[in-house]
Structure 1
Amino acid sequence: MTKKREYKDDYPNKTLYLPGPTEVREDVIEAMAEPMFGHRMDRMTDLYTTIVEDTKEFLGTDDDVIILTASGTEFWEATTLNLVDENMLVATSGAFSERQANVADRLGKTVDRIEYEWGTAVKPEDIRDALENGDRDYDAVGVVMNETSTGVRNPVEEIGDLMGDYPDTYFVVDAISCLGGDYVDVEEHNIDCIFTSTQKAFAMPPGLAVCTVSDAAYERELDKDSASWYGGFQRCLDYYDRKGQTHSTPAIPIMLAYRKQMKHMLEEGHEARDQRHREMAEYARDWAREHFGLFAEEGYESQTVTCVENTQGIDVAATVEEVSEEYDMVFSSGYGDLSEESFRIGHMGEHTVESVKELTDAIEDVAGL
């Protein structure tokens, strides 16, 4: 039985290099301290319409955008309930893609998996083969764009391009650990829904989930007998069209933070933000190759999370702890069974090559590299 551990006021501040949450600007944190107001006031309409329309501008899409008080997990459930009658195809190559498939299983859908060894990327030709030669007609295909557990970046653009040949099958992309730090043209590549969480590459506090919805996906839900109540496309988007607000009480302080950070993101620009993340990823990969190895398949490495293969056999848990204690920097051990076989560096949000180098210097010192 877990016992209460009293929250204190004297914790040291740690710089976060996790696969999320990540560092948040001070003015974004301060934005949460505005006086409270009602979620049915005009002020809320001003706030919510601002963050929705700014998000569409940043992503460069005319698709609808839903921002809900939730983690990105909400849209695993919502997209499945809204788009899938019976059959779903999910490519699994790590912990989070497997979890996406498990959610659909628990919702009573028939889920076929294309299974890959962890560290291996999804191959578009395998998706096409399953759609062409499988025993079922699929309502939707689910793919994780950035597999947080392995540092693999899957080729969702190529998969989306082939999905144009299957207009009755909807394409759902989990981009939780990369959207905002890894550019993707949503409409160009036939993505019906792509979703994320604010605490990752958006560099905002945790607590909000963001999802784009194509016209076809919206119409698909209208034809279904059942859909998600909380994350239903019609429920969310029709309420937005009528009121410019959310249908249920939102986390207003986090939306205030969202408003502030999205202005910063628009000022930087999506392509420039993508380039900065690309430079951080290249530095992290070069460092990993020099001292260790890379867990991800060559050519499919993540732009926001580098999973370093522990070829030197260092004590990963002890290194993570010592770097935290000595340098007040926090990175992550490997995920699950990979906890000692690898470790992960999150280079997302507001980090730069210079700040990532501070972490790798600390790891070198502690590990005696």
Structure 2
Amino acid sequence: MTEKREYKADYPEKTLYIPGPTEVREDVVEAMCEPMFGHRMDRMTDLYTTIVEDTKTFLGTDNDVIVLTASGTEFWEASTLNLVDEHMLVATCGSFSERHANVAERLGKTVDRLEYEWGQAVKPEDVREALETSDTQYDVVACVMNESSTGVRNPVEEIGDVVAEYPDTYFVVDAVSALGGDYVDVDAHEIDVIFTSTQKAFAMPPGLAVCVVSEDAYERELERDTASWYGGFQRCLDYYDRKGQTHSTPAIPIMLAYRKQMKHMLEEGHEARDERHREMAEYTREWAREHFEMFPEAGYESQTVACIENTQGIDVAETIDAVSEEYDMVFSNGYGSQLGEKTFRIGHMGEHDLESIEALTDAIEDVAGL
């Protein structure tokens, strides 16, 4: 039985290079300290409409945006309940894409997997073949944009173009560890649902899930009598249209932080933010290939999370502890029993820049004797 461990509030500060949560600006943290107000007051309408419309502007989408108090996991469940009658095709290439399939099965859906070895990327031509040759009419094709367990960035744009040729099939993208740090044109590639969590590349505190919903996906849900209650597209979007608020009590302090950080993101711009993340990713890959190897399939490496193959056989756990103790920096081991000591991961997302990533790699070199 787990015993209580009292929170002491006097822990040393650590710079986070994990795949989320990531570093948060000081003024964004301070924004959470405003006096509390009611979630049905006009002030809440001002706050919520600001973050929703600013998010649309940042992402460059004409689709609807939902911001809910939840983790991105909420929209695994909600999109499945809202869009899937029975059959769903899920491309699996790592832990989180496999978990998406498991969630759908727990909800009683029939799931076909388009399976890849961990480290391999989903190929658009394989999705096309699966849709063309199957006798099943799939309600949804689901794919993770950024498989953070393996550091793979799937080509969701090209996959979206394929799925768009099947008007009765909807395309759902888990972009939890990528959106905000890796540019994707949601509307151009007809992505029906794409969602993220604020603690990743948005560089905000944890606690909010963001979902972009196409008009087609909204209309599809109207036909359903088993849609999600909390994450239902109609319930969320109709309430926003009527009231400019959320249908249930939101985490107001985190939304205040969201407002502040989204202003920073708009000032930087989506394309510039994408370029900064690309520079960090390219540097980290070059460093990894100098000392180790990259784990993902070549050409499909993530722009926000580097998964590095431990070809030198360093003690990953010991190195992580030593870097934390000596440099107050934290990076991550491999994900799960398959990759725990075989890989390690560096989150180069959010407000990090090339200089801060170089500081981490210097620390790893020093501790590991590279």
TM-score per shorter chain, which class? Answer: over 0.9
1:162 aligned counterpart, secondary structure: helix
- Give how far 1:164 is off: 1.6
Query: Does the residue aligned with 1:142 lie in a helix, a strand or coil?
Result: strand
How much is the aligned-residue C-alpha RMSD, in angstroms?
0.4
Residue 343 of structure 2 corresponds to 342
Alignment-derived partner of residue 363 in structure 1: 364
Aligned to 1:47: 47
CA distance in 2 between counterparts of 1:189 and 1:67 reads: 22
Per-residue deviation at 1:327? 0.3
Q: d(CA) in 1 for partners of 2:226 and 2:75?
A: 16
Alpha-carbon distance in structure 2 between the residues aligned to 1:298 and 1:9: 43
Q: Which residue identity lines up with residue 340 of structure 1 in the other structure?
A: E
Give, in angstroms, the shift of residue 271 of structure 1: 0.1
Deviations 1:25-59 (A, max 9, x none): 00000000000000000000000000000000000
Partner of 2:157: 157
**1:212-264 superposed Cα distances (whole Å, 9 cap, x missing partner):** 00000000000112100000000000000000000000000000000000000
Distance in 1, matches of 2:297 and 2:122, equals: 10
Give the aligned partner of residue 194 of structure 2.
Answer: 194
User: Which SS does the other structure have where 1:216 is aligned?
Assistant: helix
Q: Which runs of 4+ in 1 moved over 2 A?
A: none
Structure 2 residue aligned with 1:211: 211
Q: How does 1:46-65 map to 2 (within 5 A)?
A: 46-65=46-65
Once residues 168 and 237 of structure 1 are traced to their aligned partners in structure 2, the CA distance between those partners, rounded to angstroms, is 22
1:65 and 1:345 map into 2 onto residues whose CA distance is 29
Deviation of the 1:9 alpha carbon: 2.0
Cα distance in 2 for residues equivalent to 1:195 and 1:276:
22
Deviations 1:52-87 (A, max 9, x none): 000000000010000000000000000000000000
Aligned to 2:49, the other structure's residue is in SS state helix
Find the aligned partners of 1:179 and 1:9 in 2 and give their Cα distance.
31
Distance 2:10 2:251 in 1: 26
The TM-score normalised by the length of structure 1 is 1.00
Counterpart residue identity of residue 188, structure 1: A
Report the counterpart of residue 145 of structure 1 in structure 2: 145
Distance in 1 between the 2:9 and 2:222 partners? Answer: 49
**Residue number in structure 1 paired with 2:70:** 70
Shift of residue 135 of structure 1?
2.5
Answering whether residue 117 of structure 2 is matched by residue 117 of structure 1, we say yes
Q: Which amino acid aligns with 1:362?
A: A
| Alignment correspondent of 2:326 | 326
Query: What is the rounded CA distance, in whole Å, between the counterparts of 2:216 and 2:61 in structure 1?
Result: 14
Q: Work out whether 1:226 is the aligned partner of 2:244.
A: no
Q: Which residue of 2 aligns with 1:177?
A: 177
Inter-partner Cα distance in structure 2 for 1:265 and 1:281? 19
Q: Secondary structure at the match of 1:149?
A: coil
1:24 is aligned to: 24
* Equivalent position of 1:304 in the other structure: 304
Q: Secondary structure at the match of 1:172?
A: strand
Residue of structure 2 equivalent to 1:81: 81
Q: How far is 1:163 from its partner? A: 1.4
* Aligned mates of 1:93, 1:112 — CA distance in 2: 14
Give per-residue Cα distances to partners, 1:186-226, cap 9 Å, x unaligned.
01001000000000000000000000000000000001121
Aligned to 1:12: 12
AA matched with 2:242: R
What amino acid sits opposite 1:328 in the alignment? D
TM-score normalised over the length of structure 2: 0.99
Output the amino acid matched with 1:131. L
**1:96 and 2:96 correspond:** yes
1:114-161 deviation per Cα after TM superposition (whole angstroms, max 9, x unaligned):
110000000111111111111210000000000010000000010011
- Separation in 2, partners of 1:220, 1:102: 23
Q: Identity over the aligned pairs, expressed in percent? A: 82
| Matches of 1:5 and 1:326, distance apart in 2 | 25
User: How far apart are the structure 2 equivalents of 1:251 and 1:232?
Assistant: 18
What SS class does the counterpart of residue 3 from structure 1 fall into?
coil
